[in-house]
């Protein structure tokens, strides 16, 4: 229940109020005095918006080990004892994208440090590369890694040079043998964005892309609910009931991957162990979604398995298209 500190006079228009009024009948402002200490404000925020109370305690166990239970309870109208599905999804998504941004930025910072060390080592080795015997170099019929590296460095140097205009930078790249770029309006717009990304730290751009991911996911959930509506059209369930199911499923997926991100951030996990953890989490999601489908839509195990496979294939391509589109849009508006 929302906590209110009611006043006897509207703080907006000055109308005398009875304590039974939640809102002012003249101007509509909420009858609530927000002039409190910071500690009280934080406490009430968690109580009002995150519901870390008995609702959370009643919801967490069935959410984790009883797929579809919360969806059925909500659709049956038994809602007062459990966290609202939208609130549950928002809480978990905030945690997930915070951890994802943290992990990506820390990883890119490590890569940047390694690249800087590699650049320093390559600069020290440059005189030795130039002093290679020309006769022995002609014997090797392959691309010299040193030449490839220094060629890439020339490209990145041109892109990162802020003293050059876009036209001058494009002209410099066109003088290189491996670049043939048409100077159309779209090409220049695209090239300008490439330079903007190159002139910023990669972790800044990655953070910008991840910043827009929650919006993409929030658009995907209604589409996933529509897919469930079409697939189970004979079950005579309202679209909003499928939407509640979609929110619970996405919340669980983000929760499980949040645990993975915490493990990757807390421990120096090797690639084999990391791949094994991702595989286990993926199979856990499949099993969870299967039993959720089975409990919510109450169909046989084989029919549920077939529909789960169909949903998985279609949603994978929707997720791929939306993810690619989000990355391109983020790139163009960066």
Joined tokens for residue 114: 């390694």
The whole-angstrom separation of Cα 177 and Cα 160 is: 20
Identify the top-confidence range among 32-36, 122-126, 131-135: 32-36
- Compute CA 15 distance to the chain's CA centroid, rounded to the nearest angstrom: 46
Q: Is the pLDDT of residue 149 over 90?
A: no
**According to the model, what pLDDT value does residue 274 have?**
83
Give mean pLDDT, residues 108-116. 62
Q: Could you identify the residue written with the tokens 């903007």?
A: 196
Give mean pLDDT, residues 261-284. 87
Q: Is the pLDDT of residue 47 over 90?
A: no
**Apex 26 CA angle, 23 and 28, nearest 5:** 40
Mean pLDDT across the chain, nearest whole number?
Answer: 77
- Measuring CA to CA, which residue among 124, 132, 129, 202 is closest to residue 160? 202
Q: Does the pTM exceed 0.75?
A: no
Q: Is the pLDDT of residue 82 over 50?
A: yes
Q: In the structure, what pLDDT confidence band is assigned to residue 141 with cuts at 50, 70 and 90? A: very low
The whole-angstrom separation of Cα 144 and Cα 155 is: 17
For 248-265, b/e burial (b = at least 16 CB within 10 A) is: bbbbbbbbbbbebbeebe
- What tens digit of pLDDT does each residue of 190-248 get? 777 777 777 776 667 777 777 778 888 888 999 999 999 999 988 888 999 999 999 99
Contact, 45 vs 273, CB < 8 A? no
**According to the model, what pLDDT value does residue 147 have?**
42
- Beta carbons within 10 angstroms of residue 214's beta carbon: 14
User: Which is it for the CA torsion 218, 224, 226, 228, positive or negative?
Assistant: negative
What residues does 9 pair with on adjacent strands?
A: 16
Phi, psi angle pair for 143, to nearest 5°: -70, 130
- Beta carbons within 10 angstroms of residue 183's beta carbon: 12
Give mean pLDDT, residues 27-48. 68
- Measuring CA to CA, which residue among 318, 323, 327 is closest to residue 223? 318
């Amino acid at each position: 229940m929302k906590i209110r500190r009611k006043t006897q006079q509207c703080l907006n228009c000055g109308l005398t109020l009875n304590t039974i009024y939640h809102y002012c009948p003249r101007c509509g402002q909420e009858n609530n005095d927000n002039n409190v200490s910071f500690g009280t404000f934080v406490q009430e925020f968690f109580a009002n918006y995150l519901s870390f109370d008995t609702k959370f305690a009643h919801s967490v166990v069935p959410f984790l080990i009883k797929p579809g239970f919360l969806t059925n309870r909500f659709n049956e109208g038994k809602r007062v004892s459990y966290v609202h599905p939208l609130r549950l999804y928002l809480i978990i998504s905030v945690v997930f994208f915070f951890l994802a941004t943290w992990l990506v930025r820390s990883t890119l910072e490590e890569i940047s440090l390694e690249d800087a060390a590699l650049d320093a080592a390559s600069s020290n080795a440059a005189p030795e590369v130039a002093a290679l015997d020309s006769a022995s170099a002609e014997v090797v019929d392959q691309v010299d890694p040193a030449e490839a590296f220094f060629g890439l460095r020339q490209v990145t140097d041109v892109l990162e040079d802020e003293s050059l205009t876009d036209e001058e930078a494009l002209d410099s790249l066109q003088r290189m043998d491996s670049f043939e770029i048409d100077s159309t309006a779209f090409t220049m717009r695209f090239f300008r964005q490439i330079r903007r990304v190159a002139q910023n730290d990669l972790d800044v751009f990655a953070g910008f892309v991840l910043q827009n991911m929650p919006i993409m996911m929030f658009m995907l959930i209604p589409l996933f609910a529509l897919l469930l509506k079409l697939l189970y059209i004979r079950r005579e369930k309202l679209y909003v009931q499928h939407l509640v199911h979609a929110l619970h499923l996405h919340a669980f997926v983000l929760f499980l991957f949040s645990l993975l991100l915490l493990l990757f951030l807390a421990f120096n996990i090797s690639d084999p162990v990391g791949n094994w953890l991702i595989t286990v989490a993926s199979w856990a999601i499949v099993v969870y979604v299967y039993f959720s489908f089975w409990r919510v839509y109450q169909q046989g195990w084989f029919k549920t398995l077939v529909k789960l496979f169909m949903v998985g294939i279609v949603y994978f391509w929707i997720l791929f298209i939306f993810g690619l589109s989000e990355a391109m849009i983020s790139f163009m508006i960066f």
